[in-house]
Structure 1
Amino acid sequence: MNRIIEASVHFIDVVASRGIPATITLILALGLCRWVLHRQIKRQEKLSDELKLRWTNIVKNTSYLVLVISLVLIWAPQIQTFALSLTAFAVAIVIATKELILCFSGTILRMSSRPFSIGDIIESGDYLGYVVDQNFLTTTLKELEPDFYSATGKTLVIPNSLFLSAGITNHSFIRPYMIHSFNIYLEPNARQVNVYHNLLSTILEEYWDTFQQENPKFLTQIRGKRLIQQDALPKVRFTTNDGAKHKFVVTFPCRAEARLEQEQAILKRLFATEIQ
């Protein structure tokens, strides 16, 4: 007990004499650097909003990393002396900080595998949205509605520990393009299955010809990502659902921002055609 009291007194003395001034100076210096860099990023008119957001995020996380490392270096001797007298509390500290440790572990996994970056559309567990911010504990998403990929207006802040237990689906792996899919449900009619299938195939073939002319680098990018080219081509598949309705699954490549527009164009053309 006496050793704990002596260590505590020594720790407080050192904090008052050296630790606090150094810490305050460090925080002020990092805050100033971060403010200057943010102003410089905002003034860069040639950078897109997405790149500005990404660089702002990098500056923020780098400043946090420098702060943590610097604080450890400043306080390491004092913490070591104090901690030697508090070994009995080590297990309690680990238990109390379990979630924080899991979040840091998820961050390490994310940084090492780089499954996504700012601006990507990702899906993990029950969450789907645009990545707008990342830090050492959480990832912030602008939520998307799963059926139409339209914004809900909500912001999701998910702990990075989720990435340890749930897979990550990156819908923007071939950004600025994506492979979009949607379903069409029709009442059962065996005579019209081939008619609808052929009509959808024709619509997709014409769409593909136009898409290649407007996006000549798409196939080159697909090969650069080591993806199977056949998987990126427009296609339509026929099946049935649990309600015995006919189901057509339409898949096609598009620019991420135009996915809903192209989907609506295909649907309008399909149902504008008179089926005998």
Structure 2
Amino acid sequence: MRTLCVTSGKGGVGKTTLSVNLGIAMARAGRRVLLLDGDLGLANLNVMLGVIPRFTIQDVVRGQKTLDQIVIQTSYGISLAAGATGIAELADLGEEERENVIRGLEGLRGYDVLIIDTGAGIGDNVVRFVLAADDVLIVTTPHPTALTDAYGIIKTVLTHESRAIKLIVNSVTSIRDARSAADRLTGVTSKFLNGTLECIGYIPFDSLVEKSIMKQQPHLVLHPTSTSAQRMQEAAMRLIGGQVADSKPGLGRFLQKLLGQ
């Protein structure tokens, strides 16, 4: 199982919307997808999907439920592990409790891709998720403050370790602005940081995306023929292109790295 962490330096750039729709696009391509809400302060993947979770990851941390018991099978072909602020307790678990959680997560099988939707910014929890994941996707817009904050998290990650990071420029009003934003970030990353940044797509601004959010239904489901939906589909295919099935217990490996083991 591959783990993909979707993050951003700034809130309001469409990170959660993209996490949901990229997951649906991957599922339509035959991948078995699990979404994990890693926004510790404002868990809202379930809101985007229009579902009300009875249990969350907090129940797993407290030993009241297994991960199997909290996973929700949505009507969109993807599964959801709803988040809660209690996941932050993972960092403070005792050794025995920590091992119990890891074993439980390693037992969860049947998925090809785990998508973690983090909070925005460069907080410790966000960075921990990013460093633990196999693949990292940064979401930004062409707005100067969004680009500055995106560079902030790219710099933070690459300061910890050299790795390849992917980028999507969202809510663009022209290809020229999109390319300028991507070139700016890839240029400074290549020049000043020890790592690589690859832009895998541009998503045009589309008022239909906001309408989908208000209806609490995925954009790819409500408006599949829109240009923005097509660009999301293309980005998802670039993310999974060339990947092969991973027989290792990817979720357990992810949690071990997340917990510093």
TM-score normalised per structure 1: 0.22
TM-score normalised per structure 2: 0.23
Which of structures 1 and 2 has the larger relative contact order (alpha carbons within 8 angstroms, sep 6+)?
2
